[in-house]
Structure 1
């Protein structure tokens, strides 16, 4: 199967760049590479944002965290961070600043391919799309979510925020299953395409970030509640509209 999906690999290790270029190209993707942030930004300036970025954390000059934050100012392009195998801090920081997933080095190309396909399915870059499209507008508590523009708007102060790809997917999961307890494996499968790893904190970090965004009021003190030993639940009424 051939795809028109464009992937940009940003890594200062030439061997990794060549390996991923060859492997992903054989899989049918259109692959470009950059060895640092300067080359990455030159590519984006000349070609626009790709469909997905593989972004190494440890880069000469601006590191992957800085580049991820810079991309997130302008684009919701899916980003997979490539991190050091033993450094959980890298993984948590990457998710906090807007990365959609991470994979620890060393990794197998097949493992990376599974992550890429799962992420691209979630953002509808390619693959089968659901026949049942979500409603255009979802209202819950003090908030309103436009599922097309991915704009989250507060109905009280009228402020709007654009949700990142993975945060949007997680919020949609809760909005599609209100008042139902979702365990960590179910959340991870739906938003990352895999079960949660032991001691993985990425899901908790994301939920904390979404909770902070939603805030609390006397009427809605808790949007997403923790159910000890079981998972999380969206505990507010949800209304669907067009």
Structure 2
């Protein structure tokens, strides 16, 4: 089962979450502030649960520093109603966010969805045939099993969620893909009103991919309808 690093200064909450996750078979380590979390993360860490409001080093700065070195999936734990925290977290490379207070069932569902799409189910990287799969479209090459993306022969540093989202669009170029479909099939959750997670992931992908040689946009937004991977 996956190794989880829980970074939160609420010791009562971390104790409860540790008990819950260990009952589900996860291995859990705890850090009570951002710097301690950065010191504890390693190659064996499959996911980080990261609180926003913490002493010493807050969640946003922790995420920024973490992304300088690690591509480990991050689920942000945000205060309910603090949209700015969610937007900033997604811009900095968080895979998803979960507003507090949250139910045990929802937390576990979000974690499983992230682990599935980052190819680290049950704490082991997926291999075999899946790791050898390759998606190609124009100058983009995606290896879903390894969660690697190349564009114009350059390795593009996308998060696991961004890679899964791009792969979903690449499988259906020229087709308008509804946000509700992306949310369900990529993020593993139903689209909620005012949820901007998909918008932020698309924005990050656009920023990271180099421009097309013909100057056309790679991904087009159709307001109220969804997104479209632009064909030649």
Structure 1 and Structure 2 fold alike (TM over 0.5): yes
Contact residue 74 and residue 96 of structure 2 kept, 8 A: yes
1:31 corresponds to: 28
1:54 corresponds to: 49
Q: Which deviates further from its counterpart, 117-126 or 13-22?
A: 117-126
Q: CA deviation at 1:216?
A: 3.4
After superposition, the Cα gap between the structure-2 partners of 1:40 and 1:212, relative to the gap in structure 1 and judged at 3 Å, is closer
Query: Is 1:221 aligned to 2:216, yes or no?
Result: yes
C-alpha separation between the residues in 1 aligned to 2:129 and 2:220? 28
Q: CA deviation at 1:201?
A: 1.2
Contact residue 149 and residue 163 of structure 2 kept, 8 A: no
1:43 corresponds to: 40
After superposition, the Cα gap between the structure-2 partners of 1:111 and 1:15, relative to the gap in structure 1 and judged at 3 Å, is same
C-alpha RMSD of the superposition: 2.4
C-alpha separation between the residues in 1 aligned to 2:194 and 2:99? 15
Q: CA deviation at 1:132?
A: 7.2
Q: CA deviation at 1:66?
A: 1.2
Q: CA deviation at 1:233?
A: 1.2
2:86 corresponds to: 91
Contact residue 7 and residue 33 of structure 2 kept, 8 A: yes
Which residue among 137, 150, 155 is the counterpart of 1:153? 150
SS at match of 1:83: strand
Contact residue 141 and residue 220 of structure 1 kept, 8 A: no
After superposition, the Cα gap between the structure-2 partners of 1:38 and 1:77, relative to the gap in structure 1 and judged at 3 Å, is same
C-alpha separation between the residues in 2 aligned to 1:180 and 1:101? 25
After superposition, the Cα gap between the structure-2 partners of 1:117 and 1:179, relative to the gap in structure 1 and judged at 3 Å, is same
Query: TM (normalized to structure 2)?
Result: 0.88
The aligned runs of 1:51-90 (5 Å cut-off) are 51-90=46-85
Q: CA deviation at 1:166?
A: 0.9
C-alpha separation between the residues in 2 aligned to 1:9 and 1:160? 30
Q: CA deviation at 1:146?
A: 4.2
2:176 corresponds to: 181
Query: Is 1:113 aligned to 2:108, yes or no?
Result: yes
Q: Tell which structure's C-alpha radius of gyration is larger.
A: 1
Query: Is 1:21 aligned to 2:18, yes or no?
Result: yes
After superposition, the Cα gap between the structure-2 partners of 1:202 and 1:25, relative to the gap in structure 1 and judged at 3 Å, is same
Contact residue 150 and residue 162 of structure 1 kept, 8 A: no
Q: CA deviation at 1:208?
A: 1.6
SS at match of 1:163: coil
- The superposition leaves residues 185-229 of structure 1 with CA deviations (integer Å, 9 ceiling, x where unpaired) of 111112211111101111111112212223534625121112333
- The superposition leaves residues 128-181 of structure 1 with CA deviations (integer Å, 9 ceiling, x where unpaired) of x799737644433343334455443342xx543221111111111111222222
- The superposition leaves residues 81-100 of structure 1 with CA deviations (integer Å, 9 ceiling, x where unpaired) of 00010110100110111100
The number of aligned residues is: 229
SS at match of 2:65: helix
C-alpha separation between the residues in 2 aligned to 1:178 and 1:132? 24
